[in-house]
Amino acid sequence: MLELSGVTTGYGRTMVVHDVDLTVPDGALTAVLGHNGAGKTTLLRAVLGLLPVRGGTVRLAGEDVTALAPHKRVRRGIAYVPQGQQSFGQLSARENLQVVADAHGRAGRRRTDEALDLFPALRELLGRQAGLLSGGQRQQLAIARALVTGPRLLVLDEPVEGIQPNVVTEIYDAISTLTAAGSLSVLLVEQHIGYAVEHAAEFAVLTSGRVAHRGQGGGEGASADARKALAL
């Protein structure tokens, strides 16, 4: 679904991510692990087109999207849940979903309903200003908003960071439900190895902007393997 080859990117003249190769197979979850400052978020921003790629290519389902604007990549099937439970804070929760659904007509409305089925608690909060929701509620809203775009690839940047444990479970359950059908591919960035390594088909460890280690997720030794690569 997603193929990064030799991706180099950064801010201005400072390159943060160097020569990264990474693949997310159709219907699979690929995890990128790394400590703070390893370049994980920078890499995701390049995948989305929020940062220009200085070297290498980004291909989505075989199509080279390296030069496409972010909103065009979204229309081709990439959805992004950025770090930090971001929402359109002054819009209501309902408007946060509507503004995305507007662009997708009837399909957008149907997907809004489906996304709310995934997080039923959000239905009670639709009239609330998004900026006044709790961190966990905002993150659920962010995932729902991403799903309204009708993605083939869901890109999640530390989706449970700073979120209370019971909501963490809900969010991970939702991700599992989404991937279980096999039609959605997921690129998951995490600092913590638990869920990511357990559920990923493959994982990569990023150190100083380079892939320092690759491993297979799910198996018995996977956690130990990832732990060692992260020098934990």
Partner 1 sequence: MDIIAQLFAGLSLGSVLLLAALGLSLTFGQMGVINMAHGEFMMAGAYTAFVVQGVVGDAGVSLLLALPLGFVVGGLLGLLLEATLIHRMYRRPLDTLLVTWGVALVLQQVARDVFGAPNVDVRAPAWLSGAVQIGGLALPRTRLFILTLAIVCVVALALALRATPLGRRIRAVVQNRDLAEASGISSRATDRVTFFIGSGLAGVAGVALTLLGSIGPTLGTNYIVDAFLVVVAGGIGQIKGTVIAATALGLMQSFFEYSTTASVAKVLVFVTIVAFLQLRPQGLVSVRTRSLA
Binding site residues, partner 1, CB under 8 A: 48-50, 69-71, 74-75, 80, 82, 84-91, 95-96, 98-100, 102-104, 129, 131-135, 138, 145-146, 149
Between 7 and 197, name the residue whose CB sits nearer to partner 1. Answer: 7
Q: Which is nearer to partner 1, 171 or 229 (CB)?
A: 171
Query: Residue 9 or 149: which CB sits closer to partner 1?
Result: 149
DSSP string, the chain: -EEEEEEEEEETTEEEEEEEEEEE-TT-EEEEE--TTSSHHHHHHHHHTSS-EEEEEEEETTEE-TTS-HHHHHHTTEEEE-TT----TTSBHHHHHHHHHGGGHHHHHHHHHHHHHHSGGGGGGTTSBGGGS-HHHHHHHHHHHHHHT--SEEEEESTTTT--HHHHHHHHHHHHHHHHTSS-EEEEEESS-HHHHHH-SEEEEEETTEEEEEEESSSTTHHHHHHHHTT-
In angstroms, give the least distance from the CB of 212 to partner 1: 27
- Nearest approach, Cβ of 202 to partner 1 (angstroms)? 24
| Minimum distance of partner 1 from residue 76's CB (angstroms) | 10
Which residue, 118 or 133, is less far from partner 1 as judged by CB? 133
Min CB(4)–partner 1 separation in Å: 17
